[in-house]
């Protein structure tokens, strides 16, 4: 048996009658979701010389995502971190993908939609018929089971969790999470892809919230309980953790940055998935989300961002 292909994964002989499956090289990336996470992933891919197809629910959202990338790249030019020619080249690598059919030539499609399992499952069910047989599929989920998400696709062996941190261009870490069916070539291709982006990989098992959010979100939830129980004000809690624990920002400020709806979703996944009362979402977090006070993106959360300077809301 000579050199051949198994889907898009190359199958070669090692000279001793044994064969090995070589991982797929990722040259074109599709991204579903042009919001803060999706456009951040698109930006770092484009800067690394990888072509990107960017999708969202409407062309207006896609254009807003492209505009955000353009603004971020322009800031890098102003700071002297990038020259104008490279900015233009990176921007040209990002193309709109109004339909999943536009992903037909992509080597991998990364879902970066809202942190809701039902939404994600629907996306993957609709997406897979548009992909070439060897294409990989990934989720940027911060908490949901990779095995469960993979089960609704036609390629669970080529499905993997690739969890970027927010904001993607600045944060160094990416969590890689294998589902029960994820095969070695998929993992190796994803790892090589992250290396090409200049990020550091940490490998997490497929347990609720993985590593970073398993530790970070309960801390944020506890800070909200501390506020809820009147132990300290918003300002007191954030100042205490910035100056007392040397955190770059306080937990309530960080919650606003992440989005309180996302914080609540992760805590619900932890609470339901691990069945431990210590992960119960704080009632005050639930109340803020019910009020539509989701943090910076809605201009109100634990801080009010509608004025010149953020002001605590409690």
Catalytic residues: 142, 163, 175, 213
Rounded CA separation 107/196 (Å) = 15
Rounded CA separation 210/212 (Å) = 6
Rounded CA separation 70/263 (Å) = 28
- Contact between 200 and 207 under an 8 Å Cβ cutoff? The reply is no
**Looking at residue 206, what DSSP letter applies?**
S
**Looking at residue 128, what DSSP letter applies?**
G
User: Among residues 71, 52, 61, which one has the least CA distance to residue 34?
Assistant: 61
Write down the residue that tokens 């100056």 correspond to: 243
- Contact between 93 and 66 under an 8 Å Cβ cutoff? The reply is no
Q: How many angstroms separate the Cα of 222 from the Cα of each of 105, 143, 200, 252?
A: 45, 18, 29, 10
User: Among residues 174, 310, 285, which one has the least CA distance to residue 219?
Assistant: 285
Rounded CA separation 100/21 (Å) = 28
Tokens of 165: 């941190």
Tokens of 262: 């996302």
């Amino acid at each position: 048996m000579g050199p051949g292909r198994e889907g898009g994964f190359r199958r070669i002989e090692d000279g001793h009658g044994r064969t090995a499956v070589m991982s797929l090289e990722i040259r074109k990336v599709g991204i579903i979701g042009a919001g803060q996470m999706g456009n951040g992933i698109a930006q770092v891919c484009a800067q690394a010389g990888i072509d990107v197809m960017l999708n969202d629910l409407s062309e207006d959202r896609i254009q807003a995502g492209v505009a955000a990338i353009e603004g971020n790249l322009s800031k890098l030019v102003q700071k002297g971190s990038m020259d104008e020619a490279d900015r233009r080249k990176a921007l040209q690598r990002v193309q709109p993908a109004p339909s999943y059919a536009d992903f037909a030539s992509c080597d991998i499609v990364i879902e970066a939609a809202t942190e809701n399992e039902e939404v994600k499952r629907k996306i993957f069910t609709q997406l897979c018929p548009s992909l070439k047989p060897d294409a990989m599929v990934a989720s940027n989920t911060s908490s949901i089971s990779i095995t469960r998400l993979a089960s609704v696709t036609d390629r669970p062996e080529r499905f993997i969790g690739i969890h970027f941190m927010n904001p993607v261009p600045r944060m160094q870490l990416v969590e890689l999470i294998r589902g029960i069916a994820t095969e070695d070539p998929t993992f190796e291709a994803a790892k090589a892809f992250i290396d090409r982006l200049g990020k550091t990989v940490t490998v997490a098992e497929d347990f609720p919230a993985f590593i970073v959010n398993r530790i970070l979100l309960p801390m944020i939830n506890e800070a909200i309980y501390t506020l809820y129980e009147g132990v300290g004000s918003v300002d007191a809690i954030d100042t205490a953790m910035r100056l007392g624990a040397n955190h770059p920002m306080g937990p309530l400020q960080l919650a606003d940055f992440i989005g309180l709806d996302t914080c609540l979703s992760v805590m619900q996944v932890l609470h339901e998935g691990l069945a431990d009362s210590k992960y119960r979402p704080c009632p005050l977090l639930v109340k803020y989300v019910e009020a539509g006070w989701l943090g910076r993106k809605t201009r109100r959360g634990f801080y009010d961002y509608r004025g010149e300077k953020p002001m605590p809301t409690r």
